[in-house]
Amino acid sequence: MKPETRPCFAVDIDNVLGRAEPEVQRLFREVTGTAWPVGLHGSAGGLDSSAFEREAIEEIFSRFHEESIPLLPLFPGAKYALGVIQQTCRIIIVTARRPSSRPQTLQWLADHRIPFDALYHTEEKTGIPESITLAIDDHPLHIQAYRALGVRVFVMNQPWNRQIVDANVIRVTGWDALLQWWHFRYMGTWPNRLIETPAPHYLWSRLPIPA
């Protein structure tokens, strides 16, 4: 058996593959009886480090992990993009979801037919036994941890990560946009911005895939 030689691409789930924020905010409203405090916690990920009532936070996240995962919609283009990327990279799903949610998470990935090679549940995403070369995430703390290791990071654009200004990260507005950047990877350049490009499906129909 030949050793694995593909570079490793670490992919987050919530708010990168699946749209989780609206569901957490809905649970917040149900549990607390109040509207989501826009700007106070930034995103659902900010609740864990907030001074909000711990009992309410625990109920929100317990319900999310136990009930909400099957309901999350997939971001457009994610399945297609990962299928393209997996031809040259090992796809590692790395999520901060609780390990108890692993069965629901695996079922969600299977239901959406997401191509991947391994799944890790951890808050310390750079501590997994993989040599990560590329990553995509939305949470500032995880983005900073990847960058500290010299990993090339795609930032899935969200309101809570707009403060990140780093010439070494690539901000994308969705999976189709990421594929446009992927096209340039095989042209040997990483441009700072795109003026205009064809659709990803058009690009990949004319681009040889490296063996």
Across all residues in the chain, what is the average pLDDT? 83
pLDDT value at residue 135: 96
Range of the domain at 25: 21-71
> Would residue 210 count as lying in a domain?
no
61 and 159 assigned to the same domain: no
pLDDT band at 168 (very low <50, low <70, confident <90, very high): confident
> Would residue 84 count as lying in a domain?
yes
Q: Give the residue with greater pLDDT, 71 vs 2.
A: 71
> Would residue 3 count as lying in a domain?
no
The residue to which tokens 């309901």 are assigned: 71
81 and 52 assigned to the same domain: no
Q: Give the residue with greater pLDDT, 17 vs 24.
A: 17
pLDDT value at residue 12: 97
- The total domain count for the chain is 2
Q: Give the residue with greater pLDDT, 187 vs 60.
A: 60
Residue 118 has pLDDT above 70, yes or no: yes
146 and 166 assigned to the same domain: yes
pLDDT value at residue 77: 95
**In 10 A of CB 11, how many CB atoms?**
25
Q: What is the pTM of this model?
A: 0.83
39 and 100 assigned to the same domain: no
Query: Last residue of some domain: 30, 55, 71?
Result: 71
d(CA 36, CA 28): 7
d(CA 40, CA 169): 26
Q: Give the residue with greater pLDDT, 203 vs 144.
A: 144
> Would residue 77 count as lying in a domain?
yes
pLDDT value at residue 45: 62
Give 200's contacts (C-beta < 8 A, 6+ positions apart): 77, 80, 81, 84, 176, 179, 180, 182, 183
49-93 pLDDT, tens digit per residue, is 556 778 888 898 899 999 999 999 999 999 999 999 999 999 999
30 and 54 assigned to the same domain: yes
pLDDT band at 41 (very low <50, low <70, confident <90, very high): low
Which of 159-169 are b and which e, b meaning 16 or more Cβ less than 10 Å from the residue's Cβ? Answer: ebbeeeeeeeb
Mean pLDDT of 157-176: 89
> Would residue 63 count as lying in a domain?
yes
77 and 65 assigned to the same domain: no
> Would residue 211 count as lying in a domain?
no
> Would residue 50 count as lying in a domain?
yes
Which CATH number covers residue 196? 3.40.50.1000
85 and 148 assigned to the same domain: yes
Q: Which of 12-26, 164-178, 181-195 has the lowest mean pLDDT?
A: 181-195
117 and 29 assigned to the same domain: no
67 and 57 assigned to the same domain: yes
41 and 135 assigned to the same domain: no
Q: Which of 5-19, 33-47, 118-132, 150-164 has the lowest mean pLDDT?
A: 33-47
pLDDT value at residue 85: 93
